Structure 1
Amino acid sequence: MGNKVYQTVAEAVRALEERGFTANFELIGKTFRAMESGKTFNPDDLTIVEHHRFEGSSDPEEMAVVYAIEADDGTRGVLVDAYGAYANPDLSAFLKDVRIDET
């Protein structure tokens, strides 16, 4: 995980965007699509390079994980997902197959 501790999901997303994670990824079937470029990626095309988990102690809507994801072609983007009972099971299954390299 990155060294910085963010207070909110929005703060984490903003900071990652400032560092070049500008693509917005969405899950389409069994692939990720970068919404702006329309490029699609399989799990083996992607690496999670950073993530930040928010506990939602004061706001249940803040129960989320913010992922910084990089594709093999250099596309870098952010994905936000809830966790626990609110997690998207299809997204969770997809992310299990994505490499993690948070060095």
Structure 2
Amino acid sequence: MKDSRYTTLTGALNDLKKRGYTEDFNLKENCIVCAGKSLELQPEEFYIDEVHRFEGMSNPDDNSVIYAISSSSGVKGVLVDAYGPYAEAITPEMARKLRA
């Protein structure tokens, strides 16, 4: 798993899209979902290929993370989430998957 090499969130999203990470994933408590494909993926059904973290310029609490994700079914996309105090509440299985 690679870590951040981008200086902006937008730059990372644009490059990942060019590299085939075209779907938008949303985080649920125990899975990720892709509304565009009506797809729900459990932790064992997807892989974290890259992680890119960003801190807010004006507010250190404004932190975000991009996960480049590929699924066992071949779907590739990104999940953008907060980290730190504003991170979503998720199950221990999802936490292990995303924080590995």
The two structures share one fold, judged by TM-score above 0.5: yes
* Structure 2 contact 28–90 (Cα < 8 Å) conserved: no
**Identity over the aligned pairs, expressed in percent?**
34
In the alignment, which residue of structure 1 is the partner of 2:71?
A: 71
Taking a change above 3 Å as real, the CA distance of residues 47 and 80 of structure 1, as seen in their structure-2 partners, is same
Gapped regions of structure 2 (runs ≥ 5): none
Q: Look up the SS of the partner of 1:96 in the other structure.
A: helix
Q: Following the alignment from structure 1 to structure 2, what is the Cα–Cα distance between the partners of residues 17 and 34?
A: 15
Q: CA deviation at 1:95?
A: 4.1
Identify the residue that residue 58 of structure 2 maps to in structure 1.
59
**1:9 aligns to 2:9 (yes or no):** yes
**Structure 1 runs of 4+ off > 6 angstroms?**
none
1:31 matched to 2:31: yes
Q: Does residue 80 of structure 1 match 2:91?
A: no
* Structure 1 residue 89 displacement after superposition: 2.1
CA RMSD of aligned residues (A): 2.5
Query: Does the CA contact (< 8 Å) of 1:27 and 1:91 recur in 2?
Result: no
Q: What's the offset of the Cα at 1:27?
A: 2.7
**How many residues are paired up?**
98
Counterpart secondary structure, 2:85? helix
TM-score (norm 1): 0.79
Tell me how far apart the structure 2 counterparts of residues 45 and 5 of structure 1 sit (CA, whole Å).
26
Q: Which range moves more in the overlay, 77-86 or 26-35?
A: 26-35
Deviations 1:29-79 (A, max 9, x none): 5222112111111000010000111122x2337511110001001100101
